[in-house]
Amino acid sequence: MKRIIIICLAILVSVVLTLSASLSVQAATPKPPIRIGYLGPATGFLASQDKYMREGMELYLDEVGHKIAGRDVELFAEDTEGKPAAAVSKARKLIEADKVHVLVGVFSSAVAIAVSELAEKYKTPFILGPGGWTAKIGVEKVYHYTWKNACLTGQAWFNLLRHYIPEELGLKKGIVTVQDYVYGHDMLKTAKVFLKEGGVEVIQEVITPFPTLDFSPYLAALNRKADFLLSCHVGAGAVRLPKQFKEYGMDEHMRFIGSGPTDIATLPKDMTEAIGVIGSNPYSPYSEDPKSMAFVQKYKGKYGRLPGFLSVYMYESGKIISEAAKKIGGDIEDTEAFLKAISEVEFEGPDGLLKFDKETHTRFINEYIWKVVKEEGKIRGVNRKVGHQVLKIYLSSPGPSAKIFR
């Protein structure tokens, strides 16, 4: 009997030791890295945007030591060329070959739609932002795997168009020019509605090919009875248009208003043609908010220049991934839990409070109205914050409308 007891105890000790060793090995074995797939237009007409986007993401990862929720982070970057077909090919490679856990970035609306469709097929979370402002994502169709750290069409323009232009500038007749692609057409519809609500008449619509380098034929045909030209152009066109506008002498007849020349990402240091231009954007590096000032200092210290809103949104995209992963103990492989955690993310970023509207999978934003000025020999922006996490835009039949939430 005594011998049996000794044998049983020996077996029990052996089992305990084996389990203990197994658990120790498991505890000592770190989880594999979290793999993030970045998509941006490194080449092509939108290439100027990619630099700021990628820098924003890199700055965040450097800040957290390339670790999220206790796991190392690997960043895989691919060039979309600003083209849907190229983007889909690169995104598929990131998912199939690189085995990324989440996609992030994009910019172009057409590319954003294509990648959102692919993310649905592969059941891969996709943090879209910045860009992809079209209402086709988040309004006409809400993608389960796509969450927009970006604006809906016109979301960062509401106060500028509805209030500032008619009430503070006193302008009553305008021309709206857009590029011939998804975002451009969405923005044209939105701008017309917001301006009409403010009592402004749109007397001419100008749609240019995407891309366009020479705007002279379009400038020559502008209706000179207009008080202003509203440009909704992006990329290189956002810089070329105001230059050619002034070279053509159109500034003697009407004001130039647009977002491109008031964003650091598209404003050359020597661009005197932008002086006096008014526009709006979802972030301003000249904000006196302490979190923004700290971000600007870090960004300038690393890259030697001011950040644009593209930099901020990609920095925050990194933090969205990080905060969501922390909520689920770093188990990012649990896709549904990760998506739910994304929907619950809320934090104060350089541009203010970031949180998502669960209905449209789109973030709330701030709106800054800018004016480009020259002070002490330097071209810079002065801004006023006019929106604060209160605006959601719906593009619905018969047209767009704005709903204010407080």
Q: Is residue 25 part of a domain?
A: no
- Same domain for 87 and 191? no
Say how many domains are in the chain.
Answer: 2
For residue 33, the model assigns a pLDDT of 98
Task: Specify which of 185-189, 233-237, 285-289 reaches the highest per-range mean pLDDT.
Answer: 185-189
Tell me the two tokens of residue 160: 């500028």
* Residue 177, CA atoms < 13 Å, CB-side half-sphere: 28
- Please check whether residue 10 lies inside any domain of the structure: no
Would you say residue 133 has pLDDT above 80? no
Of 23-32, 34-43, 133-142, 158-167, where does the model show the most confidence? 34-43
Percent of the chain at pLDDT > 90 equals 54
- Mark whether 105 and 131 lie in a shared domain: yes
Burial level of 371, CB count in 10 A (0-12/13-18/19+)? Answer: middle
Same domain, 108 and 138: yes
Round to whole Å and give the CA distance between 239 and 245. Answer: 10
What phi, psi does 325 have (nearest 5°)? -65, -40
Q: Evaluate whether residue 4 is within a structural domain.
A: no
Average pLDDT over residues 38-53: 91
State mean pLDDT over 383-404.
41
Greatest Cα-to-Cα distance within the chain, rounded to the nearest angstrom: 110
Nearest to 257 by CA among 313, 173, 185: 173
166/264 same-domain check: yes
75 falls within a domain:
yes
- 75 Cβ neighbours under 8 A, 6+ residues apart: 36, 38, 57, 58, 61
Residue 316 phi/psi, 5° resolution? -70, -30
Q: What is the mean pLDDT of residues 5-16?
A: 54
Mean pLDDT score, 355-368: 85
Per-residue pLDDT tens over the stretch 72-100: 999 999 999 999 999 999 999 999 999 99
One domain for residues 235 and 250: yes
Same domain? For 205 and 278 the reply is yes
Domain residues for 320?
34-153+288-363
In the beta sheet, which residues pair with residue 231? 177, 258
Sign of torsion, CA 196 194 209 212? positive
Could you tell me if 174 and 256 lie in one domain? Answer: yes
Residues 6+ apart with CB under 8 A from 343: 147, 356, 358, 361
Same domain, 165 and 277: yes
pLDDT at 382: 62
Nearest to 103 by CA among 166, 35, 55, 198: 35
Q: Write out pLDDT tens, residues 97-122.
A: 999 999 999 988 899 999 999 999 99
Q: Are residues 146 and 248 in the same domain?
A: no
DSSP 332: T
- Alpha-carbon distance of 326 to 185, in angstroms, equals 39
CATH number, position 302 = 3.40.50.2300
Q: Is pLDDT larger for residue 17 or for residue 268?
A: 268
Helix, coil or strand: residue 356: strand
Has residue 110 been placed in a domain? yes
How would you class 12 by CB atoms within 10 Å of its CB: exposed for 0-12, middle for 13-18, buried for 19 or more? Answer: exposed
Question: What is the sign, positive or negative, of the torsion defined by CA atoms of 242, 246, 247, 249?
Answer: positive
The predicted pLDDT at position 46 comes to 82
* pLDDT score of 400 more than 90: no
**In this structure, are 265 and 351 located in the same domain?**
no
**pTM (2 decimals)?**
0.83
Domain assignment present for 397: yes
When pLDDT is averaged across residues 21-30 and rounded to a whole number, the result is 53
- The answer as to whether 26 is a domain residue is no
Looking at the fold, whether 389 and 255 belong to one and the same domain comes out as yes
pLDDT tens-digit series, residues 296-348:
999 999 999 889 889 999 999 999 999 999 999 999 999 999 999 999 999 99
Q: Is the pLDDT of residue 374 over 80?
A: no
For residue 14, is it within any domain?
Answer: no
pLDDT digit string, tens, across residues 164-178: 999 999 999 999 999
Residues 56 and 134 in one domain: yes
Mean pLDDT along residues 262-288: 75
* Average pLDDT of the chain, as a whole number: 84
Q: Is the pLDDT of residue 393 over 60?
A: no
What end-to-end distance do the CA atoms of the chain give, in Å?
A: 78
